[in-house]
Amino acid sequence: MTETTKSLFETRPPSTLAKSAFVSLYGGVYEHSPWIAEQLYDRGITDAHNTPAALADAMAAIVNGAVDADKLALLRAHPDLAGKLALADLTTSSQNEQMGAGLDQCSADELARFTELNDLYKQKFGFPFIFAVKGFHRTDILAAFERRVKNDVETEFNEAINQVHRIAKLRLEAL
């Protein structure tokens, strides 16, 4: 394997990084929430964290141990899916993920339904609909949206956190 094809985990293992470098590289894994990487670093990064799966599990543990207010802030940091702002003001990761699922190619009817569901969902739950879109088509995502908007608040809060963890793991694997 050449230097250019090595993963970030091979060229700069997390356990070898100073805090500023660690947070710079991994602070965006959870959307607009560098506090997760900061807390993990403060708890200690070891050689055991030098794989995407291990780092994902450790970061998920930070989130799972957080108070509900911090979890809610994390959920609220996520963008709408194919909503009014569509791909306008997204992080590069979110933009690539949504485009990969074809959310930038919604028909007028699909876009209207996403917008309607986004509004209904946020009114009911207080945070945007979160779905780890990688590997799914926009019609699959819309079907999940239709299903999940019917959940109770506790069920959906937990599902949204699980989706956030899946997004973070996929982002770490992509590095």
SS3 content of the chain, % helix, strand, coil (to 5): 65, 0, 35
User: What's the number of CA atoms in the CB half-sphere (13 Å) around residue 141?
Assistant: 30
Q: Which of 49, 78, 137, 165 is catalytic?
A: 78
SS3 159: helix
What's the rounded Cα separation, in Å, for the pair 126 and 120? 10
Q: How far apart are the first and last CA of the chain?
A: 15
* The one-letter amino acid at 126: G
Q: Is 137 designated active site? A: no
**Residue 21 phi, psi dihedral angles, 5° rounding:** -70, -40
| Residues annotated as part of the active site | 78
